[in-house]
Structure 1
Amino acid sequence: MHLTTPFKALRPAAGRAAEIIAPPYDVLSSSEAIERATGKPWSFLHISKPEIDLPAGTDAYSPAVYAKAAENLHKMLEAGVIVQDETACYYVYRIIMGNHVQTGIVAAASVADYDTNRIKRHEFTRPDKEDDRVRQIEALSAQTGPVFLAYPDAPSIDAVLATTITGIPDADATADDGIRHTLWVIRDEATIAQITSGFDALPALYIADGHHRSAAASRVAASRRGVNPHHTGDESYNYFLSVIFPAHALKIMDYNRVVCDLNGLSKDELIAKISANYTVTPSASPVKPASHGEVGMYLAGAWYKLNVKPELIPADPVERLDVSLLTAHILTPVLGIADLRRDKRIDFVGGIRGLPELEKRVNSGEMAVAFAMCATTMNDLMSVADAGQVMPPKSTWFEPKLADGMASHVID
């Protein structure tokens, strides 16, 4: 089996992409999805968030929701808004957000290689979220949410990307948020073979985002394999929808922390305790950390720069992360937060919202202190995955997000 394979994508018909593409299913609430889909009968939200077409209060995990998704997909196919390629292809997908550009390959990635950790993960998954994606895939007999993967240095694949984007795109649309999504179809057999062999030569791929989608695809494949007496390994259920970008092109933003109280400490007491492990320097301007070991802290209307003492930075790829150091030396021993996944006293703010959001939440009285983090790097992420470990909760915030609806993978 190959690490990746071309496939016959379901994708927007010519000129229809702007009507279809939508944010990923898991970044919008149901009410936000209703607002975004209003007046857009062909928005992919009708497939990825189908509860928006059912009575208010419908459980988002009820069987009716998954049935509605299948019904809506069928309607889009019947109307010719979405079409399926007749031959297996790869696809080049470019996203432009402001000055940031990233270009990758849409491919079907091997479930077997995911199961053996050649496609490497760095997060735990939740069974309820896996169950949701399994039911969605089974209802549609398709994977509609791509897994966001990264590949290490691969000049042959980079060359295909560079050549392809000089041609006329097959889909080109700017989403509501101003992010541009462009797709080119690769039908040339020699180029397809070059891509397949290029990925086969790699030691690993890395999941950036989509751990629940990939885990669900693995479960569906195991289920179908178990009831197929003629299983060969070539069936489409043995692969999952992915978009694979060069690691060097990806943009990870900071994932910041806000805490609602000071654990009974005064401002001066908090700073004194933090000073045991960090050098604390007042700052006249907001602190956006620019290097490993640096943290910005907003407290009582003032910014401080925190620099961890170098001797406290271990070699372990997880423990040396800035988010791990903050937990080990401030959040747990000073602020009393032991479980970042369950403690209601802490919240997380994606860097896309900027430092003013941290100031706003503290100034409002909702939160008592905010910590601005240095963004985790792709090298950090790959080091953790290579070590077979997992990242702490809320360690990475990838932007821009992939669009749902640009390409889907039908499984047999």
Structure 2
Amino acid sequence: MAKIIPFKAVRPTRDKVNLVAARSYQSYTKEQLESRLRDNPFSFLHIVNPGYRFDKEISGIERYSLVKNRYLEFKEDAIFVQDSKPCYYVYKIVDRENQEFNGIIAAVSALDYENNRIRKHEDTIAYKEIIFKDYLKTVGFNAEPVLLTYPDNTVIKNIISKKQKERAEYEFTTTYRDTHYLWKVEKPELLKAIETEFESMSHVYIADGHHRSASSYLLYKDCKTENKNHSGQEPYNFFMSYLIPESDLRIHEFNRLVKDLNGLTKEAFLIQLDTVYRIENRGSIPYKPNQKHQFSMYLDGEFYSLHLRKTAYKMTNSLDGLDTQILFKTILEPILGIVDLRNDNRIMYMNGKNDVVNMKSSVDNGDFAVGFGMVPVKIDEMKQIADDGLKMPPKSTFIEPKLRSGITIYEF
């Protein structure tokens, strides 16, 4: 059973939440970051970028300590206040394309992560886990929920729908034209009903946030070892998540761009591809595949369709049938010589939401020699790979919604 509990969130006041909320730090360009830090003193970016005050780049433990100081200042100035009772938080996002995401912000169990009741489909990088664990341990809070998904549930759906008929605690629109809503759930009978429904689920799945989950688990292990009176109820036993039903999840593909043909001529490259794929030249008109095991390729000003030859590739498990794995095992590794998908600087990933036109532009301007597009991974594929204990290649999924930092904060 999955243990999902309410918690006392630290949150911005209603009048400042739109000013506080921020995208992930890494998603801003240098110019965007400078603008927001200069013009908005309430942005959560001031907390995670404390060196701005000193006009200095600060890293490591020194930065972590200053992040904590900025956070405490926001609390002292009553920009942040903490709820007096544990709550679940119904959270809704309506994006600029009018796609709607509805779910619940809650605390989930690190022990469930350990016991695989929170299931993973991506590998994590050990040193990144440790860096973020050390960060969490110093600052003492988590400000961006991990995105989890669960099978559609009628009881939870009805509670969310009923709550959304009330006045929202927050309602604000970002400069990206996404509108965010938040409602507090604090009635004991509703808290119990939600907790019971999640307890009936054997497991839930990480959709986005594998490194944050892994780091929270490492924090739990550290704190458990250091606390001689560990009871299992301390805040460090849990981490903050946004849980949405599977039907609300949106999965896009990541296209692959490679800088060179690994010393091959165009003709030699196409000949090697022909042993594994049926190749058709589609000309200069953008082409996007519409079926699994089919790929688009852009090379030297022309699009190609690649259809996997069934006799040329064996599928023995759920990972073998994943298109990103097929592309890796049939082209990227054996022909283009890319072995390390995470660290080889010859490959770049571009989310497919931006379409193949951007892939074309990146090749046409000379930054890359070839680009590959594919259809998005299905939720059932993602779940099956997680159930089988396997891991997808990096950048197999671009998942929405993308969450804002600083709207609800979990302290431990």
> Above 0.5 in TM-score?
yes
Say if 1:23 and 1:402, in contact at 8 Å, map to a contact too.
Answer: yes
1:171 and 1:29 map into 2 onto residues whose CA distance is 27
Aligned to 1:96: 94
Say if 2:2 and 2:203, in contact at 8 Å, map to a contact too.
Answer: no
Aligned to 2:304: 304
Aligned to 1:3: 3
Q: CA deviation at 1:373?
A: 1.9
Q: CA RMSD in A?
A: 1.9
Aligned to 2:409: 408
Paired residue secondary structure (1:306): strand
Amino acid at match of 1:77: K
Aligned to 1:257: 256
In terms of mean alpha carbon deviation, does 400-409 or 120-129 score higher?
Answer: 120-129
Deviation digits for residues 57-109 of structure 1 (CA, Å, limit 9, x no counterpart): 333xx222111211111111122211110000000111122121111110000
Aligned to 2:195: 196
Paired residue secondary structure (1:354): helix
Say if 1:33 and 1:49, in contact at 8 Å, map to a contact too.
Answer: no
Identity of aligned residues (%): 33
Amino acid at match of 1:109: V
Aligned to 2:395: 394
2:183 and 2:359 map into 1 onto residues whose CA distance is 39
Aligned to 2:386: 385
For 1:329-340, what aligned pairs fall within 5 Å after superposition?
329-340=330-341
Amino acid at match of 1:295: F
Q: CA deviation at 1:300?
A: 1.0
Amino acid at match of 1:401: K
Equivalent residues, number: 409
Say if 1:4 and 1:199, in contact at 8 Å, map to a contact too.
Answer: yes
2:115 and 2:347 map into 1 onto residues whose CA distance is 35
1:289 and 1:49 map into 2 onto residues whose CA distance is 42
Q: CA deviation at 1:26?
A: 4.2
Amino acid at match of 1:207: I
1:260 and 1:221 map into 2 onto residues whose CA distance is 41
2:34 and 2:52 map into 1 onto residues whose CA distance is 6
Deviation digits for residues 139-161 of structure 1 (CA, Å, limit 9, x no counterpart): 22211121111112322222222
Deviation digits for residues 260-308 of structure 1 (CA, Å, limit 9, x no counterpart): 1122323233222212222212225212222211211111111112121
Amino acid at match of 1:34: E
Amino acid at match of 2:140: S
Aligned to 1:64: 62
Q: CA deviation at 1:133?
A: 1.9
1:52 and 1:317 map into 2 onto residues whose CA distance is 47
Taking a change above 3 Å as real, the CA distance of residues 388 and 251 of structure 1, as seen in their structure-2 partners, is same
Aligned to 1:167: 166
Aligned to 1:363: 364
1:126 and 1:80 map into 2 onto residues whose CA distance is 37
2:40 and 2:268 map into 1 onto residues whose CA distance is 54
Aligned to 1:81: 79
1:27 and 1:128 map into 2 onto residues whose CA distance is 21
Paired residue secondary structure (1:339): coil
Aligned to 1:19: 19
Amino acid at match of 2:337: G
2:327 and 2:177 map into 1 onto residues whose CA distance is 34
Aligned to 1:376: 377
Say if 2:123 and 2:394, in contact at 8 Å, map to a contact too.
Answer: no
2:310 and 2:48 map into 1 onto residues whose CA distance is 46
In terms of mean alpha carbon deviation, does 342-351 or 204-213 score higher?
Answer: 342-351
Deviation digits for residues 344-387 of structure 1 (CA, Å, limit 9, x no counterpart): 22111122332222111100111111001211122111111101
Say if 1:181 and 1:403, in contact at 8 Å, map to a contact too.
Answer: no
Q: CA deviation at 1:21?
A: 0.5
Paired residue secondary structure (1:197): helix
Taking a change above 3 Å as real, the CA distance of residues 27 and 313 of structure 1, as seen in their structure-2 partners, is farther
Say if 2:224 and 2:230, in contact at 8 Å, map to a contact too.
Answer: yes
Deviation digits for residues 159-186 of structure 1 (CA, Å, limit 9, x no counterpart): 2222222221111222222222211111
Taking a change above 3 Å as real, the CA distance of residues 245 and 313 of structure 1, as seen in their structure-2 partners, is farther
Taking a change above 3 Å as real, the CA distance of residues 322 and 65 of structure 1, as seen in their structure-2 partners, is same
1:301 and 1:165 map into 2 onto residues whose CA distance is 50
Aligned to 1:322: 323
Taking a change above 3 Å as real, the CA distance of residues 326 and 404 of structure 1, as seen in their structure-2 partners, is same
- Unaligned residue ranges in structure 2 (runs of 5+): none
TM-score computed with the length of structure 2 as normaliser: 0.94
Pair 1:158-2:162 in alignment: no
Say if 1:147 and 1:241, in contact at 8 Å, map to a contact too.
Answer: yes
2:382 and 2:50 map into 1 onto residues whose CA distance is 33
Paired residue secondary structure (2:39): coil
Say if 2:324 and 2:396, in contact at 8 Å, map to a contact too.
Answer: yes
Q: CA deviation at 1:40?
A: 1.0
Paired residue secondary structure (2:263): coil
TM-score computed with the length of structure 1 as normaliser: 0.94
Paired residue secondary structure (2:243): strand
1:77 and 1:57 map into 2 onto residues whose CA distance is 24
Paired residue secondary structure (1:105): strand
In terms of mean alpha carbon deviation, does 194-203 or 166-175 score higher?
Answer: 166-175
Taking a change above 3 Å as real, the CA distance of residues 318 and 49 of structure 1, as seen in their structure-2 partners, is farther
In terms of mean alpha carbon deviation, does 201-210 or 312-321 score higher?
Answer: 312-321
